[in-house]
A and B are shown apart, each in its own frame.
Chain A
């Protein structure tokens, strides 16, 4: 957080223009009490991630329900920054999320937002801790649209549609796209739970994108050994004996 005498740098994120407008009005009203500098505003989560990396931002006022990348996912990506901004969620109505917010001492605002509530939230806004965020996302289960990694201080987003396979190795999971691979610190089981509809497990340590499966073949010389090839990738992926039967069934069902 910056020095107390400087205005607080705020980014407004909401998909509805009137809601952003209203926040600006209320922030202007309480300028005497709490000087604020609205650095920018945007209507989507992806753009918000960009904005935060282009200029210093102290607090993000983040709407939860947005098309595409929602507020909770955006917060998860923001948290990959080495010094993430404080986040205050806003929502018109969401009984479950509010319960989870209260439990985890996360700052949130109910729309329509009152000036005094806004001032109070801004003056004590703090970073989200990772456990709280995990719990929020569990209370609000929705698959992310992107995975993210921090590379040299920048957030790199990996769109889900670009992912060919996810492979667990020791502490990390390798995310393979046609262009390159990334290492992320997440568990394969949780990824399977989140993206189970778009990915198939072919091995204890490997999930592949359904839409990218090109062929399944038998390995020469071995009894039950099978491999699988994906579009846009020469690499052969091993299919375990246990997963092979289930896999064949599922592929037939497509």
Chain B
């Protein structure tokens, strides 16, 4: 039986390749070292001498352990949580001990920690950190749910809903086929809005959703809304949090196109560069920038969800470039993990 928290979400090992996770581990190890040395050193010069001596052993050991964890991460996370914890702790103890064995001839003469001490310390720090990551992932899950609820409220713009319904009504008699298509697009949009924000979704699904949304807007705005898609280098299989692109584009329409009588062009540029996926949305800046608050809320919302999903590995940058406003999102490129179908409920 796998352990589950109250959201029915499995507690997982952290992704050891992530910058945020590595940063937390490194800071904890440094803090423990400083604390240990402070406890032993009688004065400041002795503190520095001891700290340097200890660092000569601890830093390489830390680095090797992080590399080993990152390399084994995928395999460890595939195991059950209990097994994963066991093997992680084994790695955390074995790698520093091996490092100490290997380094001891180089560090002869400098006072070092005995092997059993290295093993004990590594085990305690490892166990402590695993407990911390476990607590953290439990603490964050309700936040994801909450962020999702908040996101929902912010995202269905009543103005958009009623205007779209009005546009569909105007088509029912004159062009029933377009009306049908518009209602299908609305159905897709609302299905996504009411979906599970905790599951990642393939980039191509999110792009299809954004296209459905833009088709609805085009119905209302006609030629005023021009869209330029640059997606030939898009990795369609990349996983991203749902509803990241669509709200950005909705913002672009609301703030950049609707206030301008002559309209304008929205450009979307989605590409992969090394192990990152870049999403760039540009819209013209309307001369009367009256309603900034709504904009901020939507962007904060996306930023928060990126943080919850990717910690420090994702970025959202806002760049006013003269007459154009640009939002640039960078997220790590991940693909669907190959897992037995039963292990995880499948996305829509």
| A21 and B290 within 8 A (CB) | no
Interface set, chain B 226-285, CB cutoff 8 A to A: 258-261
Bound together, the chains give a CA A142 to CA B259 distance in angstroms of 13
B→A interface (CB under 8 Å): 158-159, 161-163, 165-167, 169-171, 173-174, 219-222, 258-261, 290
A-B residue pair count with CB separations less than 8 angstroms = 54
- If the complex has contacts A16-B221, A67-B261, are A112 and B166 also in contact, measured as CB distance less than 8 A? yes
Dominant SS among interface residues on chain B: helix
Nearest 8 pairs between A and B by C-beta?
A22-B170, A92-B162, A18-B170, A18-B167, A93-B158, A112-B166, A21-B170, A92-B163
- For residue A110, CB closer than 8 A to chain B, the reply is yes
- Provide the residues of chain B in CB contact with A112, threshold 8 Å: 162, 165-166, 169
Least CB distance from A19 to B in Å reads 6
Q: Which residue of B lies closest to A16 (CB)?
A: B220
Least CB distance from A245 to B in Å reads 30
Interface set, chain A 125-169, CB cutoff 8 A to B: 142
A→B interface (CB under 8 Å): 15-19, 21-22, 25, 44, 65, 67-68, 92-94, 110-113, 142
Q: List 30 A-B contacts (CB under 8 A).
A: A17-B222, A18-B166, A18-B170, A18-B171, A18-B219, A19-B163, A19-B166, A19-B170, A19-B220, A21-B170, A21-B174, A22-B167, A22-B169, A22-B170, A25-B170, A25-B173, A44-B261, A67-B260, A67-B261, A68-B261, A92-B159, A92-B162, A92-B163, A92-B166, A93-B159, A93-B162, A111-B162, A112-B166, A112-B169, A142-B290
Bound together, the chains give a CA A15 to CA B259 distance in angstroms of 10
- Provide the residues of chain B in CB contact with A142, threshold 8 Å: 290
Least CB distance from A7 to B in Å reads 22
| B259 and A16 within 8 A (CB) | no
Q: Which residue of B lies closest to A45 (CB)?
A: B261
Least CB distance from B214 to A in Å reads 15
Least CB distance from B322 to A in Å reads 18
- Provide the residues of chain A in CB contact with B171, threshold 8 Å: 18
- Provide the residues of chain A in CB contact with B260, threshold 8 Å: 67
- Provide the residues of chain A in CB contact with B162, threshold 8 Å: 92-93, 110-112
- Provide the residues of chain A in CB contact with B173, threshold 8 Å: 25
The 8 Å CB contact of A22, one of B159, B166, B261, is B166
